Chains A and B, each alone.
Chain A
Amino acid sequence: MISLEHVLVVGALLFSIGLFIALSRRNAVGVLMGIELMLNSVNLNLIGFARFVEAPRPIDGQVFAVFVITVAAAEAAVALALAVAVYRLRQTIDVDRLNLLKW
């Protein structure tokens, strides 16, 4: 029987993996994918709580998840457009080399 704990553990694992990818990948697209993973782990959390916790309005969590998916899609579109623009300018999307904003 799948309980809330299982869902939360999977969500936490997924989030950690996403965070690791977002902080360690050099490729900007890889970073974006890590962020998507983190967003989805959050979705999993929301759905999990909506499913297992008694609440006066039981679909709140699901509505949240739908919102997050929508925003994530928009964010991915903008971020990929940025990546393309940066590539056109610098011929690279290596985030280590996008370090102009420093001392």
Chain B
Amino acid sequence: MLDTIPENAVWAIFFLPLASLLVILFLPRSQATAAGVVAALCIGAAFVLSLWALDSSLQADGHPLSFSSHEWLNVGDVLEVNVALNVDGLTAVMLVVVTSVSFLVQIYSMGYMKGDGGYWRYFAYMSLFTASMLGLILFNSILMVYVFWEMVGLSSYLLIGFWFHRPAAAAAAKKAFLVTRFGDLGFLMAILLIYVHAGTFDIAAIQDLAIAGAIGQTVLTWFALGVFAGAAGKSAQVPLHVWLPDAMEGPTPVSALIHAATMVAAGVYLVARMFPVFQVSPDAMSFAGAIGGLTALSAAMIGVVMVDIKRVLAYSTISQLGYMMLALGIGAYVAAIFHLFTHAFFKALLFLGSGSINHATNTFDMRLMGGLRKTMPITFITFVIGSLSLAGFFPLAGFWSKDEILSDAWAHERYLFYIALITAGLTAFYMFRAIFLTFFGEYRGGAEPETGAVVATLSNQAPVSTEPGGFEPDPVQAHAAAGAPHTAPEAHHGPHESPWLMVLPLILLSFPAILAGFANYNHDIEHLLVGALPEGAEVAEPTFRMGVAIAATIVPAVGVILAWAIYHAKVISAESLARLFRPVHSLLENKYYLDVLYERVVAGFLFHKALGGALATFERYIVDGAVNGAATSVRQTASVLRYLQSGQFQTYGALAFSSLVFTTVLVLVLSPL
């Protein structure tokens, strides 16, 4: 049994990644390769401290540990913001998730990013991200949460656009930044609203006021909806999910860390953090649940038709985040965070696995893969473990958390239960479709490495991508273009297992992907999370229902069998199915045409034409009109008044003297002596 973690150690968790950022920034460029080691060491140390924090939190039964409050902002009598560290059960769980996944991803990145021109820049961004993410979960003030909320958004932007010389990556980064900003606007308004009504930024205080009924119902509902808008942007909920699939343009470890395990879960975390407030407002709760259900189902359906393995995983992430929101919406606070916890591990594992596959085949297009189980056995086994866990098969991690959600949904909101169940089946189907396409059958050639790799070795400083393949809009064409000199797959020396720096994190991550579910076997996580809630908040009691568990096993099993039948045994042809469901298929392939809608209608018409046009008119005629009008009226007046300036000093003299006389007379009349 360790002592309770002291405040300085908690500060160290936050400052270690920041220190790593600073060290990397001032590293001599000749030593740039040390950046990965620095980042991994710092975050590893933060991970150890996080385990200590978890231990302390377990001893405290999840109740907040008390730390001293620091003045952060003081504007006279107007505004005073104090911040303090806040370590309770929820924080402790998040800390462990963030630091452990981040640590393993740093190790993996050392292998994956080897030889990239922006190697040190990559680790600097990653350190910045980890520090921001830790800040987001560590502080007790909603204002600080907002600050770090935007900082993780910034790091996400920087890392999606890491290979900024690729137009697709630059566009994806911009899109992610803009779309999440929509949600953040709601979050900011919610913060201002609650400050006006509650007079504090302190989360615990807001929760207490909400439970005590000191804040009006309407205000709380709007506040909860605003927070949910922010969460929906960050956690890629419909209709703000469109940025996440595009964010796959970033390096794969980034996708694993930021866009699967941690940052996108920040939205779920925020809603969970504000859970007592949501509970007071049933409208906001059911709204969150409905959006979560919609997201879970619609994203899973898109995942079925994607041919790019990373996009399959991206839609899977959106779908699972929807699952968590759904859980929060029905009051299954514990189940939601438990799912966040297990999902972080197996989804990071899957993304890192896809990166490993990409390392070998130079592509993410599953149509160019196949048969990789022989050449990449470790990647294959770990990927299957991750998929089984995601699909929720007993006794892997995903089973326990998913089952809790399903069980709570059955008890509280029947329609969401069916949605969740169908989603579970689809999840198993698309994951095993991916496995059969990638690892079974014959190898279909992969793709040529991008020529960028050659340039990168020539000039180590040039920011040139070495990630080959990437996301091409038309993979077949790209393949043809890249492999123009020779088309035979034997021409380049075949796929191979990735270096141990990449394989090791895969192996390490498969342990929590298998075992993380047992973390709640003795209701440890439940105690932690419930302890984090203030007095008076109620949570749904998770109960194990055998019927639900059986259903939750049979439905994914059907999904797996279908995937096997279609993509491995080829009993049913995928093409004929696609032809049969032509309208549905093309609807899904085009992601419900949401991107088109946003681009043409929202961005093109609503913002560019209508709003932009109106503002341009306003600017041209009102703003410019005021400026030009001022100038014109001065000129008009002057054209009359200038005749007074005759150049005749005698006129001036007469004017001056008569003014003097006039003034004197006036003074004498108005105030007689």
Contacts and interface: CB of A to CB of B under 8 A. Distances in A.
Given A19-B657, A22-B653, A23-B653, A103 B643 contact: yes
Contacts of B657: 19, 23
Contacts of A103: 642-643, 645
A102 B646 contact: yes
A57 to B, nearest CB: 25
Nearest to B657: A19
A53 interface: no
Contacts of A19: 657
B668 to A, nearest CB: 16
B1 interface: no
A19 B647 CA distance: 19
Contacts of A98: 647, 649
Contacts of A95: 648-650
A9 to B, nearest CB: 18
Contacts of A101: 647
A95 B649 CA distance: 8
A23 to B, nearest CB: 5
Interface in A49-103: 95-96, 98-103
B650 A24 contact: yes
B647 A100 contact: yes
Interface in B631-667: 642-643, 645-650, 653-654, 657
A23 B647 contact: no
Determine which residue in B642, B647, B653, B654 has the highest number of CB atoms from chain A within 10 A of its CB, and name it: B647
Which interface class (under 10, 10 to 19, 20 to 34, 35 or more) fits A? Answer: 10 to 19
Nearest to B649: A95
A62 to B, nearest CB: 27
Interface in B596-652: 642-643, 645-650
A20 B650 CA distance: 10
A38 to B, nearest CB: 11
B645 A102 contact: yes
Contacts of B650: 22-24, 31, 95
Contacts of B646: 99, 102
Determine which residue in A24, A95, A102 has the highest number of CB atoms from chain B within 10 A of its CB, and name it: A102
Contact of A102 (B647, B653, B654): B647
B639 to A, nearest CB: 9
Nearest to A103: B642
B256 to A, nearest CB: 75
A31 B648 CA distance: 13
B654 A99 contact: no
Interface string B271-297: 000000000000000000000000000
B648 to A, nearest CB: 6
20 contacts: A19-B657, A22-B650, A23-B654, A23-B657, A24-B650, A31-B650, A95-B648, A95-B649, A95-B650, A96-B648, A98-B647, A99-B647, A99-B648, A102-B645, A102-B646, A102-B647, A102-B648, A103-B642, A103-B643, A103-B645
Given A95-B649, A102-B645, A103-B642, 13 more contacts: A22-B650, A22-B653, A23-B650, A23-B653, A24-B650, A95-B650, A98-B647, A99-B647, A99-B648, A100-B647, A101-B647, A102-B647, A103-B643
